[in-house]
Amino acid sequence: MPSADPQSSGYSHTDGQYINGHSSAKSSTSKTPPTSSVPQRFLSRPSELGITLVGFSGGQCRPGTESGPAVLTEAGLLTQLSEELGYTLHGDEQVRNFDEYQPTVTGRDATVSNSTPKFDDPDVRGMKNPRSVSAVTEQISELVYQQARQGRLALTLGGDHSIAIGTVSGVARAVRERCAADGTLPESTTPEIAVIWVDAHADINTPETSDSGNIHGMPVSFLTGLATSSEKGVFDWLRSEHILNLNKLVYIGLRDVDVGEKKILRDNKIKAFSMHDIDRYGIGKVMDMALEYIGSETPIHLSFDVDALDPMWAPSTGTPVRGGLTLREGDFICEAVAESGQCVGVDLVEVNPRLVEGGVSDTVRAGVSLVRCALGDTLL
Protein backbone atom coordinates (compact mmCIF):
# COMPACT_ATOMS: atom_id res chain seq x y z
CA MET A 1 0.00 0.00 0.00
CA PRO A 2 1.41 3.42 -0.91
CA SER A 3 1.93 6.10 1.68
CA ALA A 4 -1.47 7.40 2.77
CA ASP A 5 -0.25 10.94 3.15
CA PRO A 6 1.82 12.29 0.26
CA GLN A 7 1.66 15.80 1.79
CA SER A 8 3.24 14.56 4.97
CA SER A 9 5.91 16.88 6.23
CA GLY A 10 8.31 14.03 6.80
CA TYR A 11 7.23 12.82 10.20
CA SER A 12 6.75 9.13 10.44
CA HIS A 13 3.30 9.21 11.90
CA THR A 14 0.69 6.71 10.85
CA ASP A 15 -3.08 6.98 10.60
CA GLY A 16 -3.14 10.28 12.41
CA GLN A 17 -1.89 8.71 15.61
CA TYR A 18 1.26 10.79 15.68
CA ILE A 19 1.40 12.50 19.05
CA ASN A 20 2.57 16.04 19.53
CA GLY A 21 2.85 17.96 22.74
CA HIS A 22 -0.74 19.11 22.83
CA SER A 23 -2.63 16.22 21.41
CA SER A 24 -5.30 14.43 23.29
CA ALA A 25 -4.04 12.24 26.11
CA LYS A 26 -6.80 9.68 26.10
CA SER A 27 -5.34 7.75 29.01
CA SER A 28 -6.16 10.44 31.54
CA THR A 29 -9.83 11.12 31.02
CA SER A 30 -10.76 11.92 34.59
CA LYS A 31 -12.51 15.26 35.00
CA THR A 32 -9.90 17.76 36.00
CA PRO A 33 -10.03 21.44 36.77
CA PRO A 34 -8.68 23.76 34.07
CA THR A 35 -5.04 22.88 33.50
CA SER A 36 -4.11 26.50 33.77
CA SER A 37 -3.30 27.55 37.32
CA VAL A 38 -2.88 31.12 36.13
CA PRO A 39 -5.43 33.46 37.74
CA GLN A 40 -7.59 35.02 35.00
CA ARG A 41 -7.67 38.74 35.69
CA PHE A 42 -10.49 39.81 33.42
CA LEU A 43 -12.84 36.83 33.52
CA SER A 44 -15.41 36.55 36.31
CA ARG A 45 -16.18 32.96 35.20
CA PRO A 46 -12.76 31.61 34.26
CA SER A 47 -13.83 27.96 34.10
CA GLU A 48 -16.52 28.67 31.49
CA LEU A 49 -16.17 28.94 27.72
CA GLY A 50 -18.65 30.75 25.49
CA ILE A 51 -18.46 28.96 22.17
CA THR A 52 -19.50 30.19 18.73
CA LEU A 53 -19.16 27.83 15.75
CA VAL A 54 -19.15 29.83 12.54
CA GLY A 55 -19.56 27.84 9.33
CA PHE A 56 -19.19 30.79 6.99
CA SER A 57 -16.76 31.46 4.16
CA GLY A 58 -18.27 34.45 2.34
CA GLY A 59 -15.30 36.69 3.15
CA GLN A 60 -13.30 35.01 0.41
CA CYS A 61 -13.87 32.95 -2.73
CA ARG A 62 -12.59 29.43 -2.04
CA PRO A 63 -15.14 26.94 -0.80
CA GLY A 64 -14.39 24.81 2.23
CA THR A 65 -13.56 27.13 5.12
CA GLU A 66 -17.19 26.91 6.24
CA SER A 67 -16.38 23.31 7.24
CA GLY A 68 -13.55 24.36 9.56
CA PRO A 69 -15.57 24.22 12.81
CA ALA A 70 -16.97 20.79 11.88
CA VAL A 71 -13.60 19.16 11.30
CA LEU A 72 -12.15 20.70 14.46
CA THR A 73 -15.03 19.51 16.61
CA GLU A 74 -15.05 16.08 14.91
CA ALA A 75 -11.40 15.82 15.88
CA GLY A 76 -12.60 16.09 19.47
CA LEU A 77 -11.57 19.64 20.29
CA LEU A 78 -14.62 20.58 22.34
CA THR A 79 -14.64 17.24 24.15
CA GLN A 80 -11.00 17.75 25.07
CA LEU A 81 -11.69 21.26 26.36
CA SER A 82 -14.42 19.86 28.56
CA GLU A 83 -13.03 16.50 29.67
CA GLU A 84 -9.30 17.16 29.71
CA LEU A 85 -9.02 20.89 30.43
CA GLY A 86 -12.08 20.93 32.69
CA TYR A 87 -14.04 23.77 31.14
CA THR A 88 -17.81 24.07 31.25
CA LEU A 89 -19.00 24.74 27.72
CA HIS A 90 -21.73 27.25 26.87
CA GLY A 91 -23.04 28.52 23.56
CA ASP A 92 -23.04 26.56 20.31
CA GLU A 93 -23.14 22.78 20.11
CA GLN A 94 -24.01 22.80 16.40
CA VAL A 95 -22.19 24.70 13.68
CA ARG A 96 -24.14 27.71 12.40
CA ASN A 97 -24.30 27.80 8.62
CA PHE A 98 -26.02 31.20 8.22
CA ASP A 99 -27.89 29.72 5.31
CA GLU A 100 -30.20 32.68 4.85
CA TYR A 101 -27.21 34.94 4.27
CA GLN A 102 -25.43 32.90 1.62
CA PRO A 103 -24.72 35.41 -1.13
CA THR A 104 -25.54 34.99 -4.76
CA VAL A 105 -22.51 34.30 -6.88
CA THR A 106 -24.12 33.97 -10.29
CA GLY A 107 -21.81 35.14 -13.01
CA ARG A 108 -19.03 36.07 -10.66
CA ASP A 109 -17.23 33.13 -9.18
CA ALA A 110 -18.52 29.71 -9.99
CA THR A 111 -16.07 28.06 -7.60
CA VAL A 112 -18.04 29.24 -4.59
CA SER A 113 -20.11 26.53 -3.04
CA ASN A 114 -23.17 28.59 -2.31
CA SER A 115 -25.63 26.71 -4.43
CA THR A 116 -28.81 28.27 -3.12
CA PRO A 117 -28.30 32.03 -2.93
CA LYS A 118 -31.02 33.68 -0.88
CA PHE A 119 -30.49 37.27 -1.84
CA ASP A 120 -28.72 39.40 -4.35
CA ASP A 121 -25.52 40.97 -3.07
CA PRO A 122 -23.78 43.12 -5.68
CA ASP A 123 -20.32 44.53 -4.96
CA VAL A 124 -20.01 47.71 -2.93
CA ARG A 125 -16.78 49.72 -3.36
CA GLY A 126 -15.25 46.55 -4.81
CA MET A 127 -16.19 44.42 -1.79
CA LYS A 128 -17.53 40.95 -2.62
CA ASN A 129 -20.56 39.67 -0.71
CA PRO A 130 -20.71 42.89 1.35
CA ARG A 131 -24.25 42.53 2.72
CA SER A 132 -23.80 38.84 3.43
CA VAL A 133 -20.57 39.32 5.39
CA SER A 134 -22.02 42.34 7.16
CA ALA A 135 -25.16 40.49 8.24
CA VAL A 136 -23.27 37.41 9.42
CA THR A 137 -20.64 39.37 11.34
CA GLU A 138 -23.36 41.48 12.97
CA GLN A 139 -24.95 38.27 14.26
CA ILE A 140 -21.59 36.89 15.42
CA SER A 141 -20.89 40.16 17.20
CA GLU A 142 -24.11 39.82 19.20
CA LEU A 143 -23.55 36.11 19.94
CA VAL A 144 -19.98 36.65 21.11
CA TYR A 145 -21.03 39.70 23.11
CA GLN A 146 -23.69 37.62 24.91
CA GLN A 147 -21.02 35.10 25.94
CA ALA A 148 -18.31 37.61 26.84
CA ARG A 149 -20.58 39.88 28.87
CA GLN A 150 -21.11 37.03 31.33
CA GLY A 151 -17.44 36.94 32.15
CA ARG A 152 -16.65 33.87 30.05
CA LEU A 153 -13.79 33.50 27.64
CA ALA A 154 -15.31 33.71 24.15
CA LEU A 155 -14.00 30.98 21.85
CA THR A 156 -14.92 31.16 18.17
CA LEU A 157 -14.07 28.61 15.49
CA GLY A 158 -14.28 29.72 11.85
CA GLY A 159 -14.84 30.21 9.08
CA ASP A 160 -12.75 32.71 7.18
CA HIS A 161 -11.09 35.65 8.93
CA SER A 162 -13.86 38.11 8.03
CA ILE A 163 -15.75 36.65 10.98
CA ALA A 164 -13.36 38.47 13.32
CA ILE A 165 -15.31 41.64 12.50
CA GLY A 166 -17.95 39.96 14.68
CA THR A 167 -15.77 38.39 17.35
CA VAL A 168 -13.50 41.33 18.12
CA SER A 169 -16.36 43.84 18.07
CA GLY A 170 -18.45 41.64 20.37
CA VAL A 171 -15.67 41.16 22.90
CA ALA A 172 -14.70 44.85 22.73
CA ARG A 173 -18.29 45.87 23.51
CA ALA A 174 -18.60 43.37 26.36
CA VAL A 175 -15.36 44.45 27.98
CA ARG A 176 -16.30 48.13 27.71
CA GLU A 177 -19.56 47.41 29.51
CA ARG A 178 -18.54 44.74 31.96
CA CYS A 179 -15.16 45.96 33.12
CA ALA A 180 -16.48 49.48 33.55
CA ALA A 181 -19.38 48.21 35.64
CA ASP A 182 -17.75 45.59 37.86
CA GLY A 183 -14.56 47.44 38.70
CA THR A 184 -12.30 44.76 37.20
CA LEU A 185 -10.20 47.58 35.85
CA PRO A 186 -9.02 50.62 37.77
CA GLU A 187 -11.19 53.69 37.23
CA SER A 188 -8.34 55.55 35.62
CA THR A 189 -8.11 52.92 32.89
CA THR A 190 -10.22 52.98 29.76
CA PRO A 191 -11.86 49.57 29.56
CA GLU A 192 -10.85 48.44 26.12
CA ILE A 193 -9.30 45.33 24.66
CA ALA A 194 -6.05 44.70 22.87
CA VAL A 195 -5.94 42.30 19.94
CA ILE A 196 -3.05 40.01 19.06
CA TRP A 197 -3.60 39.18 15.39
CA VAL A 198 -1.51 36.16 14.41
CA ASP A 199 -1.47 35.84 10.65
CA ALA A 200 0.69 35.66 7.51
CA HIS A 201 -1.35 38.64 6.29
CA ALA A 202 -2.26 41.96 7.89
CA ASP A 203 -5.94 41.80 6.83
CA ILE A 204 -6.03 45.61 7.05
CA ASN A 205 -6.89 46.55 3.48
CA THR A 206 -9.62 49.10 3.06
CA PRO A 207 -12.11 48.48 0.25
CA GLU A 208 -10.10 51.01 -1.72
CA THR A 209 -6.65 49.42 -1.22
CA SER A 210 -7.84 45.84 -1.75
CA ASP A 211 -7.08 44.23 -5.11
CA SER A 212 -9.26 41.17 -4.57
CA GLY A 213 -12.32 42.69 -2.89
CA ASN A 214 -12.34 39.72 -0.49
CA ILE A 215 -13.46 40.99 2.90
CA HIS A 216 -11.31 38.48 4.81
CA GLY A 217 -8.45 40.82 3.84
CA MET A 218 -10.19 43.82 5.43
CA PRO A 219 -11.49 42.95 8.92
CA VAL A 220 -8.88 44.96 10.80
CA SER A 221 -9.61 48.13 8.83
CA PHE A 222 -13.30 47.94 9.72
CA LEU A 223 -12.58 46.97 13.34
CA THR A 224 -10.27 49.93 13.85
CA GLY A 225 -12.43 52.45 12.03
CA LEU A 226 -9.87 52.94 9.25
CA ALA A 227 -12.62 51.81 6.92
CA THR A 228 -16.20 52.85 7.48
CA SER A 229 -19.37 52.42 5.51
CA SER A 230 -22.62 54.29 5.57
CA GLU A 231 -24.16 52.06 2.89
CA LYS A 232 -27.31 50.50 4.28
CA GLY A 233 -26.67 46.92 5.36
CA VAL A 234 -22.91 47.11 4.80
CA PHE A 235 -21.17 47.37 8.18
CA ASP A 236 -23.37 50.30 9.15
CA TRP A 237 -24.02 48.38 12.40
CA LEU A 238 -20.49 49.02 13.71
CA ARG A 239 -20.54 51.62 16.50
CA SER A 240 -17.87 53.17 18.69
CA GLU A 241 -18.36 50.53 21.41
CA HIS A 242 -17.23 47.89 18.88
CA ILE A 243 -14.07 49.62 17.75
CA LEU A 244 -10.51 48.56 18.48
CA ASN A 245 -7.96 51.28 19.20
CA LEU A 246 -5.14 51.19 16.62
CA ASN A 247 -2.57 51.42 19.40
CA LYS A 248 -4.04 48.28 21.01
CA LEU A 249 -3.35 46.11 17.96
CA VAL A 250 -0.32 43.83 17.71
CA TYR A 251 0.52 41.63 14.74
CA ILE A 252 2.65 38.50 14.87
CA GLY A 253 3.81 36.35 11.97
CA LEU A 254 3.35 38.76 9.04
CA ARG A 255 5.11 37.88 5.79
CA ASP A 256 2.73 38.71 2.93
CA VAL A 257 1.65 42.32 3.30
CA ASP A 258 0.22 44.33 0.39
CA VAL A 259 1.77 47.67 -0.59
CA GLY A 260 -1.28 49.62 0.55
CA GLU A 261 -1.26 47.76 3.85
CA LYS A 262 2.41 48.56 4.48
CA LYS A 263 1.57 52.24 4.15
CA ILE A 264 -1.35 51.84 6.58
CA LEU A 265 0.89 50.06 9.11
CA ARG A 266 3.59 52.74 8.84
CA ASP A 267 1.30 55.76 8.80
CA ASN A 268 -0.53 54.55 11.90
CA LYS A 269 2.59 53.25 13.70
CA ILE A 270 0.91 49.89 14.21
CA LYS A 271 2.88 47.40 16.29
CA ALA A 272 3.87 44.44 14.14
CA PHE A 273 6.26 41.54 14.58
CA SER A 274 6.95 40.01 11.19
CA MET A 275 8.70 36.70 10.56
CA HIS A 276 11.88 38.80 10.29
CA ASP A 277 11.45 39.85 13.93
CA ILE A 278 10.78 36.28 15.00
CA ASP A 279 13.97 35.17 13.22
CA ARG A 280 15.92 37.97 14.85
CA TYR A 281 14.66 37.82 18.44
CA GLY A 282 13.11 34.40 18.77
CA ILE A 283 9.46 33.83 19.62
CA GLY A 284 10.06 34.11 23.38
CA LYS A 285 11.42 37.64 23.16
CA VAL A 286 8.77 38.63 20.62
CA MET A 287 6.00 37.58 23.01
CA ASP A 288 7.68 39.46 25.87
CA MET A 289 7.75 42.57 23.72
CA ALA A 290 4.19 42.10 22.49
CA LEU A 291 2.79 41.69 26.01
CA GLU A 292 4.87 44.55 27.35
CA TYR A 293 3.55 46.79 24.59
CA ILE A 294 -0.04 45.89 25.52
CA GLY A 295 0.58 46.29 29.23
CA SER A 296 -0.86 44.31 32.10
CA GLU A 297 -4.07 46.32 32.53
CA THR A 298 -5.62 45.45 29.19
CA PRO A 299 -7.70 42.35 28.37
CA ILE A 300 -6.45 40.50 25.29
CA HIS A 301 -8.33 38.95 22.39
CA LEU A 302 -6.24 36.47 20.38
CA SER A 303 -7.27 36.13 16.73
CA PHE A 304 -5.28 33.28 15.21
CA ASP A 305 -5.31 32.61 11.47
CA VAL A 306 -4.00 29.10 10.90
CA ASP A 307 -2.11 30.41 7.84
CA ALA A 308 0.31 32.09 10.25
CA LEU A 309 1.80 28.61 10.58
CA ASP A 310 4.10 27.45 7.83
CA PRO A 311 2.25 25.33 5.23
CA MET A 312 4.44 22.46 6.42
CA TRP A 313 2.27 22.39 9.55
CA ALA A 314 -1.01 23.77 8.23
CA PRO A 315 -1.27 23.22 4.47
CA SER A 316 -5.08 23.15 4.27
CA THR A 317 -5.85 26.86 4.23
CA GLY A 318 -6.92 29.27 1.51
CA THR A 319 -3.90 31.56 1.29
CA PRO A 320 -0.82 29.65 2.48
CA VAL A 321 2.52 31.49 2.53
CA ARG A 322 5.83 29.73 2.97
CA GLY A 323 8.33 30.87 5.58
CA GLY A 324 5.90 30.84 8.47
CA LEU A 325 5.72 29.87 12.12
CA THR A 326 6.58 26.39 13.28
CA LEU A 327 3.87 24.57 15.19
CA ARG A 328 5.85 25.12 18.40
CA GLU A 329 6.14 28.86 17.73
CA GLY A 330 2.39 29.00 17.17
CA ASP A 331 1.72 27.02 20.32
CA PHE A 332 4.13 29.26 22.23
CA ILE A 333 2.25 32.40 21.20
CA CYS A 334 -0.96 30.83 22.52
CA GLU A 335 0.74 29.60 25.71
CA ALA A 336 2.17 33.05 26.39
CA VAL A 337 -1.22 34.72 25.95
CA ALA A 338 -2.82 32.17 28.28
CA GLU A 339 0.00 32.61 30.80
CA SER A 340 -0.58 36.37 30.90
CA GLY A 341 -3.92 35.83 32.63
CA GLN A 342 -5.33 38.59 30.42
CA CYS A 343 -7.04 36.55 27.72
CA VAL A 344 -10.78 37.15 27.19
CA GLY A 345 -11.32 35.90 23.63
CA VAL A 346 -9.83 33.44 21.15
CA ASP A 347 -10.54 32.88 17.44
CA LEU A 348 -9.18 30.13 15.24
CA VAL A 349 -9.92 30.67 11.55
CA GLU A 350 -9.17 29.67 7.95
CA VAL A 351 -8.93 25.89 8.39
CA ASN A 352 -10.09 24.62 4.98
CA PRO A 353 -10.52 20.83 4.83
CA ARG A 354 -11.26 20.95 1.08
CA LEU A 355 -7.72 22.07 0.26
CA VAL A 356 -4.59 19.89 0.17
CA GLU A 357 -6.45 16.71 0.99
CA GLY A 358 -3.42 14.88 2.35
CA GLY A 359 -2.69 17.74 4.73
CA VAL A 360 -6.08 18.08 6.39
CA SER A 361 -5.26 15.93 9.41
CA ASP A 362 -2.02 17.86 10.01
CA THR A 363 -3.89 21.17 9.76
CA VAL A 364 -6.67 20.07 12.08
CA ARG A 365 -4.21 18.67 14.58
CA ALA A 366 -2.31 21.95 14.54
CA GLY A 367 -5.57 23.87 15.07
CA VAL A 368 -6.55 21.69 18.02
CA SER A 369 -3.13 22.19 19.54
CA LEU A 370 -3.27 25.99 19.16
CA VAL A 371 -6.67 26.25 20.83
CA ARG A 372 -5.65 23.97 23.70
CA CYS A 373 -2.58 26.09 24.33
CA ALA A 374 -4.57 29.33 24.20
CA LEU A 375 -6.92 27.88 26.80
CA GLY A 376 -4.20 27.08 29.28
CA ASP A 377 -2.90 23.64 28.35
CA THR A 378 0.74 23.28 29.28
CA LEU A 379 3.40 20.73 28.39
CA LEU A 380 4.14 20.00 32.04
The residues that are catalytic are: 161, 199, 201, 203, 216, 305, 307, 350
Which residues are paired to 54 by β-bridges? Answer: 96
First to last CA, the chain: 38
Q: Which of the stretches 19-27, 48-56, 68-76, 193-201 binds Mn ion when contact is defined by CB under 5 A?
A: 193-201
Which residues are paired to 302 by β-bridges? Answer: 196, 346
Nearer to Mn ion by Cβ, of 280 and 322: the residue is 322
Nearer to Mn ion by Cβ, of 43 and 223: the residue is 223
Is the CB of residue 365 less than 8 Å from the CB of residue 75? Answer: yes
Is the CB of residue 318 less than 8 Å from the CB of residue 273? Answer: no
List all residues 6 or more positions away from 42 whose beta carbon is below 8 Å from its beta carbon: 175, 179, 184, 185, 299, 342, 344
121 binds Mn ion (CB under 5 A): no
* DSSP-assigned letter for residue 263: H
Output the smallest distance, CB 133 to Mn ion, in A.
14
Output the smallest distance, CB 201 to Mn ion, in A.
5
138 binds Mn ion (CB under 5 A): no
Between CA 286 and CA 306 the distance in angstroms is 19
- Is the bond leading into 159 cis (omega within 30 degrees of zero)? yes
Q: Which of the stretches 38-46, 126-134, 195-203, 372-380 binds Mn ion when contact is defined by CB under 5 A?
A: 195-203
362 binds Mn ion (CB under 5 A): no
**Which residues 146-175 are close enough to bind Mn ion by CB under 5 A?**
161
Binding Mn ion (rule: CB under 5 A), the pick from 261, 305, 310, 329 is: 305
Output the smallest distance, CB 275 to Mn ion, in A.
15
Output the smallest distance, CB 283 to Mn ion, in A.
19
Alpha helices, H only, the chain: 68-74, 77-83, 130-148, 164-182, 219-223, 259-267, 275-281, 283-294, 327-340, 360-374
Pairing of strands 153-157, 48-53: parallel
347 binds Mn ion (CB under 5 A): no
* DSSP-assigned letter for residue 298: S
Output the smallest distance, CB 60 to Mn ion, in A.
9
310 binds Mn ion (CB under 5 A): no
Q: Which of the stretches 82-90, 138-146, 196-204, 231-239 binds Mn ion when contact is defined by CB under 5 A?
A: 196-204
Output the smallest distance, CB 266 to Mn ion, in A.
20
Is the CB of residue 5 less than 8 Å from the CB of residue 361? Answer: yes
255 binds Mn ion (CB under 5 A): no
Edge-to-edge, what's the strand order for the sheet holding 194-198? 88-91, 48-53, 153-157, 343-349, 300-305, 194-198, 249-254, 271-274
Give backbone dihedrals phi and psi of 308, rounded to 5 degrees, phi first.
-65, -35
Binding Mn ion (rule: CB under 5 A), the pick from 199, 256, 277, 377 is: 199
Nearer to Mn ion by Cβ, of 155 and 198: the residue is 198
Binding Mn ion (rule: CB under 5 A), the pick from 203, 261, 347, 377 is: 203
Nearer to Mn ion by Cβ, of 165 and 286: the residue is 165
Nearer to Mn ion by Cβ, of 192 and 199: the residue is 199
Nearer to Mn ion by Cβ, of 46 and 158: the residue is 158
Which residues here bind Mn ion, judged by CB under 5 A? 161, 199, 203, 305
